[in-house]
Amino acid sequence: MTETELLQHALKSFCGMDEAAFELSLPYWQPRQYHKGEMYNEYKNVCKHLGFIVDGVFRTYYVNDESGEDKNVFFFTKHQIVVSYKSFVSQTPCNYYTQSMSDAAIVYIHFDRLQELYKQSHQWEKFGRMVAETAFDFAMNRAEAFMFRTPEERYLQLIHQHPDIFNAVPLYHISSYLGIQGPSLSRIRKRLAVR
């Protein structure tokens, strides 16, 4: 399946987009390759692009001012949208970094082109609304996971959302995402392995 076919299939599954609406966007999508460690968007930069991940893993993180330590907030994996959503929608500087965790391939669309599509098509407006709802759901689930779930439950949720994450991301990044130390992650993995 080509990148375009993959994107078309994903948009049809995500929001029911038909072929005619999808074809409106074809001149606007651009492919981009990332090397491991390369930035998708940097802290204090305005996020200008919304990307669809063809292959690879990205993380969104911030740097703790006091300790200098990275704190992972989100992971984005294959066939998901990668975007610094608040920055993208408001076109204001981002509070986070978004970085490729592996060699990756995306197709992306510029903010201005997406605004044009919203004006041309109700299906693209629906896409924009559903991306917003998904971003809100992501953020709420993330916040609620720390309020209401144990580290083990957060670990199982991560595996459910990103089944291949352990093949691409070092364990210390996963520990950071889960809000636990490395030894705690090791204990959780051992405990679950014997079940």
Say if 189 falls within a structural domain: no
Question: Per-residue pLDDT tens for 158-189?
Answer: 999 888 888 889 999 999 999 999 889 999 99
Q: Is residue 173 part of a domain?
A: no
For range 132-149, the mean pLDDT? 92
What region, left, alpha or beta, does residue 36 occupy, with left being phi > 0 and alpha being psi -120 to 50 degrees?
beta
Does 194 score more than 80 pLDDT?
A: no
**Residue 20 falls inside a structural domain:** yes
- Let me know if residue 163 belongs to a domain: no
Question: Which residues share a beta bridge with 99?
Answer: 39, 59
- Average pLDDT score over residue span 129-157: 93
> How far is the C-alpha of 53 from the C-alpha of 76, rounded, in Å?
8
Residue 31, pLDDT > 90, answer: yes
Polymer length of the chain: 195
In whole angstroms, what is the distance from residue 56 CA to residue 80 CA?
A: 10
- Number of domains into which the chain is organized: 1
In a domain, 171, yes or no: no
| Confidence band of 67 (pLDDT split at 50, 70, 90) | confident
Sheet holding 30-34, edge to edge: 30-34, 104-110, 49-55, 81-82
What pLDDT, in 10s, does the model give residues 75-131?
999 999 999 999 999 999 999 999 999 999 999 999 999 999 999 999 999 999 999
Q: Which domain holds residue 7?
A: 3-148
**81 backbone φψ class: left, alpha, beta (φ>0; ψ -120 to 50):** beta
Q: What is the pTM of this model?
A: 0.91
Domain membership of residue 183 (yes or no) is no
Of residues 146 and 194, the one with the higher pLDDT is 146
Per-residue pLDDT at 195 exceeds 80: no
Q: Is residue 27 part of a domain?
A: yes
Sorted by sequence, the CB contacts under 8 Å of residue 154 that are 6+ apart come out as 145, 146, 178, 179
pLDDT at 72: 94
Q: Is residue 178 part of a domain?
A: no
Q: pLDDT, tens digit, for every residue of 7-30?
A: 999 999 999 999 999 999 999 999
Look up the CATH number of the domain holding residue 101: 2.60.120.10
